[in-house]
Chains A and B, each alone.
Chain A
Amino acid sequence: MENKTFTISVYSENNVGLLNRISGIFLKRHINILSLNVSESEIENVSRFIIVVNTTEKWVQNIVGQIEKQIEVIKAFYHIDEETIFLENALFKIESSLLFDEKQIQNIIKESHSQIVTVARDFFVISKSGQRAEIESLYEKLKPFGIMQFVRSGRISVSKAKMEISTLLEELKQEPV
């Protein structure tokens, strides 16, 4: 079985230590996490993890099973890229003087559909949302002028198919205690 990029989505309770428990499942199998994002989800007090890995489908199935089995995990899914809408965010900090000294920077910013989020006397900051290749392309274009700081977020994604967590939680609530 060949390796592929998979996006794992985990809905869980928002508890201390759960991130450690989940990342431990990857550690145990010696799999490197390519990117990780944890945030609130569409449901109150429910967290959502987005984990990107490169592995075989068999392993991602096993891993999702082992994640889902953790007590505080509500549900876990995995998807290939075609099944999700995904993007990353990047911030570039650049010297302000370059805006005037190197006029093509303004064109680069326009063409890349990125935004200037702040301008100070010494530096300005560009924010770019998009797929990895778009961010990398912008990085390559800005690099010759000097980038003071660069940072890129983990992948965030939503699935094209429904993830009926709310329904699931409703059902769980109604189960006789």
Chain B
Amino acid sequence: MGTNKISGAEAVIRCLLEEGVDLVYGYPGGAIMPVYDELYKFKDQLHHVLVRHEQGATHAAQGFARATGKVGVAIATSGPGATNLVTGIADAQIDSTPMVCITGQVGKHLLGSDAFQETDIIGISTPVTKWNYQITEASEIPEIMAKAFYIAKSGRPGPVLIDITKNAQFDEIEFSYKKCTSIRSYNPKPVLNIDKVKEAAEIINTAKKPFIIFGQGVILSEAEAELKALVEKSGIPAAWTILGLSAMPTDHPLNVGMVGMHGNYGPNVLTNECDVLIALGMRFDDRVTGNLATYAKQAKVIHFEIDPAEIDKNVKTTVAVLADLKESLTALLPIIESNSHEAWHNEFKEKYEIELEAVINDELKPKREGISMGETIEMINKHSKGDAIMVSDVGQHQMFACRYAKFNSTKSNVTSGGLGTMGFALPAAIGAKMGMPNREVVAIIGDGGFQMTIQELGTIFQTKVPVKIVVLNNEFLGMVRQWQQLFFDKRYASTEMINPNFIAIAEGYYIKAKKVTKREDLDAAVAEMMASKESYFLEVMVEKENNVFPMIPTGASVSDIRLS
């Protein structure tokens, strides 16, 4: 009737445009076809990247979100299209990544009838989404899409899934859009209690051995400058969780390294010797704390956190400062006294010397014949000069990458931290590069994880996105093999990989490829890769049975971290 009416599918696109989205990842199918038809019409304003598997769409959206700070968007059809999103959604949930997933659904009249490609994606995704909603009427689209973006991005970010029945995509509505700015039952930013900040400052100012651990909260609230100012004024040694990496330059003199299972020796051991532990935007994951019963029991714990559910969840706090980190650090900064904590810093330096001697030199300058993963990362550092975004997959190479990568700027470390999703890196690198086209993006992947999403080489070929792919090939599922060696008497059950010719596969996708087997060829190969204007695949044959150390065995105390 009225010419000002548009279809629900067009409304979806207009909502995305209203939210400033110009790039989405997805895969078409029956129940989402009306939306794809509109994507065709809007292709000048909204670029759709066709991935090779829906899981790749979620990881690409995550990579985009992590590198840019914006909301990533993934689109899939109903049934298997929707279920293929689940791993990426779970990953985004546990790593607090803002993402909106849009799935098609069978028509409203078919819901619950076991129709073709019908699956209860709302039921399936409920435990792994920050919020989800099934739209069954076109008129709901603008309001729900606005809520989806608001919820995904605000407070502690996370994934939102919107399932849209086919009838709602076809039906026509009068379109008007209003951004969502509040929901009465949702309080994303707790109001800062200034008394808590004062209490925290008092404890910090009188501390003899204070220690900061910062997490991704710094990056999510864009509090990097505040963190740096705090660390520099207070002189407090600061360590990072794996997702906090790059929030502070890695070569900053007060940056003492990584905490956790494969973190640095000093930060782990000294967690149990500090008198005040200052946790900034981190959640005391078990990979960080080891055995909770013996974790920082001697210390007063101050937790700066935006999510009330994280307070006292794992570690009992002395003072909890519940607010957006940027806000709380801004309030804290002027009442923190200048200090240098020299003697305390020396303890970190001494511990670092021990680790350097026992672990790091051997890894970065190995005297053995085989190439180590650590020296490969070091070689990438040499050529990236610390300016690249590094997207790592999951396993030994990830730990080496995070331990040894150099970063000058924030949002440079993209990795699957909480969920540990093998197959994350290749598609996530695509998203990171498309989000930050002016930055170099290097994916570091093991031979196992590479084969979990290897089909995304097709996406790289089709889009010509110039990502650099490094596969560290040890012909093993290395991390599991390491555990088998250390804890299962070397019974290598199903961890040995007989791999295909990766070079031929990369070349099959018309991607420039090179394989390095000797140390003397590594420098030139990495240089060539980094200089390439196009995507580049570099396979490095590394030692088969190298281990990542230090290591806190599962259930052990951070004090009992092993150097070998």
Contact surface of A with B, Cβ cutoff 8 Å: 12-13, 16-17, 20-21, 24, 27-28, 61-62, 65-66, 68-69, 71-74, 169, 172-173, 175, 177
Please tell me which one of the listed residues B122, B123, B308 contacts residue A68 in the complex, with CB atoms under 8 A apart. Answer: B308
Contacts of A61 in B (CB 8 A): 312
Please tell me which one of the listed residues B131, B132, B184, B313 contacts residue A62 in the complex, with CB atoms under 8 A apart. Answer: B313
B420 to chain A, nearest CB (A): 18
B66 to chain A, nearest CB (A): 22
CA distance A173 to B133 in the complex (A): 23
Q: Mind listing 13 A-B residue pairs with CB under 8 Å?
A: A12-B185, A21-B126, A21-B127, A62-B309, A65-B313, A66-B309, A68-B309, A71-B130, A71-B185, A72-B185, A172-B184, A173-B184, A177-B182
Which residue from chain A places its CB closest to the CB of B151 in the assembled complex?
A71
Please tell me which one of the listed residues A28, A69, A177 contacts residue B308 in the complex, with CB atoms under 8 A apart. Answer: A69
We find that the number of chain B residues with CB closer than 8 angstroms to chain A is 23
Instruction: From known contacts A20-B123, A28-B127, infer whether A73 and B309 are also in contact, taking CB-CB under 8 Å.
Output: no
CA distance A72 to B186 in the complex (A): 7
* Main DSSP-derived SS at the A contact region: helix
Instruction: From known contacts A17-B132, A20-B126, A21-B126, infer whether A65 and B185 are also in contact, taking CB-CB under 8 Å.
Output: no
Query: Do the beta carbons of B184 and A169 come within 8 Å of each other?
Result: yes
Which residue from chain B places its CB closest to the CB of A12 in the assembled complex?
B185
A19 to chain B, nearest CB (A): 10
Please tell me which one of the listed residues A17, A173, A175 contacts residue B122 in the complex, with CB atoms under 8 A apart. Answer: A17
What 1/0 flags go to B147-186 for Cβ under 8 Å of A? 0000100000000000000000000000000000111111
Query: Do the beta carbons of A71 and B183 come within 8 Å of each other?
Result: yes
CA distance A16 to B132 in the complex (A): 11
B304-320 with Cβ < 8 A to chain A: 307-313
Contacts of B133 in A (CB 8 A): 17
Residue from B131, B185, B309, B310 having most chain A Cβ neighbours under 10 A: B185
Contacts of B151 in A (CB 8 A): 71
Contacts of A20 in B (CB 8 A): 123, 126
Shortest 6 CB-CB contacts between residues of A and residues of B = A65-B309, A172-B184, A74-B185, A71-B131, A69-B309, A24-B127
Other contacts beyond A13-B185, A69-B309, A72-B131: 9, CB < 8 A: A24-B126, A27-B127, A61-B312, A65-B313, A68-B308, A71-B130, A71-B185, A74-B185, A169-B184
